[in-house]
Amino acid sequence: MSEHAFTPEDSRRIRRIFELALPEWDARVQEAPDVQPGSSLDGDVRVYPNGVNAAWLSMTSAVDHLKALRDLWMKASSLHAFADATILRAALLAASTAVYLLDDSLGVTRQERIRRGALAALSDHRDHRRHQRALTELTESLGEQSMAAHTSLLAQLREWEARADRVAEQAGATLGQRKNGLIATDCIVLAGQVTSRHETGRTRLLLESGIRSVWQKGSADAHGRSWQTMSRVRSRDDDPRLSASVSEIVTGLQAAALVLNQAWRIWDLRSVQHLP
C-alpha cells in the first residue's frame, strides 16, 4: 500500500503519532521506570508494587504493538482491514489497562488502585497456572527433572495467586470480583471516561463511544466474528466479503494513541514528588 492510499488528514494523523509521539515513548520504555521517592506512584509501590509494575508493562506492550503497526504500514507498505485491527486492539487494551491501574481520577483512592492491581495480578497468576496445568501431561513425558521443575512452578503460581487474592480482598474486592479478576472491557470503558473527562457534551460522547468501537471491532476481527462487521462496506454488490476504509483503521490508531498518551500523562504526574 503506497502513501497515496491515505487522505491528507489521515497522513497528518499518522505522522503525528508515528514520527513525533511514538519515538519518544519507545525511548522511555527502553529504560527502567523513573519513580521519585515520596511521589504518588512511590506510595503505591510501597504498598503493593504489582499494580505499578503491571501498568509499566502494559505501556511497554502498547508501544511495541504501535511500533509493529508503524513498520507494517511505513516499511512493509502493507495495510490489512482485519489483521491491523487486532494489533490496534492489543495496543488499545494494554494502554487502557495502564490507565485503569494508574487512574488519578477524583475519588480514586490508593486502596482502589491496590484493589485493581491485585485483581490484575490475580488474573495473571491464575491464567499462567491454568496454562501450566494444561501442560502437565506433556511435561511428564519429558522426564522426572522436567516434571519436578513443573511441579515447583505450579506451587509458586498457587502461592502468588493466593497472595494476590488476599491483597484484593483486603483492598475491598468482593468474592465475585476476585473470581472474575481483571475484566478487559472495564479497562476500556474507564480509559474512555478518563481520556474524555475534560470534554463536554457531544465531544465527550464521541470520544468514549469511539474508543469502545475500536475495541469491539478489533475483538470481532481477532476472534473471527461477524457481529461487529455487519455494517461494513461489501467489496461488490454480489460479493459476501467485507472491507474497511483506511480512515476507519487510522481512527483506530488514533484511539490507541490517545489512551496511551493519557497513561503517560498520568504516569508523569504521579511519578514526581511535587512537594518542596
Tens digit of each residue's pLDDT (9 = 90 or more) over 111-132: 999 999 999 999 999 999 999 9
Instruction: Count CA within 13 A, CB hemisphere, residue 105.
Output: 18
Q: Is the pTM of this model over 0.85?
A: yes
Q: Where are the domains of the chain?
A: 6-270
> Which helix (DSSP H) or strand (DSSP E) does residue 8 occupy?
helix 8-15
Q: How far is CA 60 from CA 32, 51, 92, 99, 266, in A?
A: 11, 14, 12, 13, 15
Q: At 236, is the pLDDT very low, low, confident or very high (cuts 50, 70, 90)? A: low
| More confidently predicted of 8 and 257 | 257
Q: What is the pLDDT of residue 9?
A: 86
Q: Which residue has the cell 502513501?
A: 3
Classify residue 52 by burial, with Cβ atoms within 10 Å: 0-12, 13-18, 19+: buried
Which residues, listed in sequence order, are joined to residue 243 by a DSSP beta bridge?
233
Is pLDDT of 227 > 70?
no
Task: For residues 243 and 134, give the distance between their C-alpha atoms in angstroms, rounded to a whole number.
Answer: 38
Task: For residues 120 and 137, give the distance between their C-alpha atoms in angstroms, rounded to a whole number.
Answer: 28
**Residue-wise pLDDT tens digits, 139-198:** 989 999 999 999 999 999 999 999 999 999 999 999 999 999 999 999 999 999 999 998
Torsion sign across C-alpha atoms 218, 182, 66, 39: positive
- Extract the C-alpha cell encoding 222: 481477532
Q: What is the pLDDT of residue 244?
A: 67
Q: How far is CA 230 from CA 13, 74, 185, 240, in A?
A: 27, 30, 21, 11
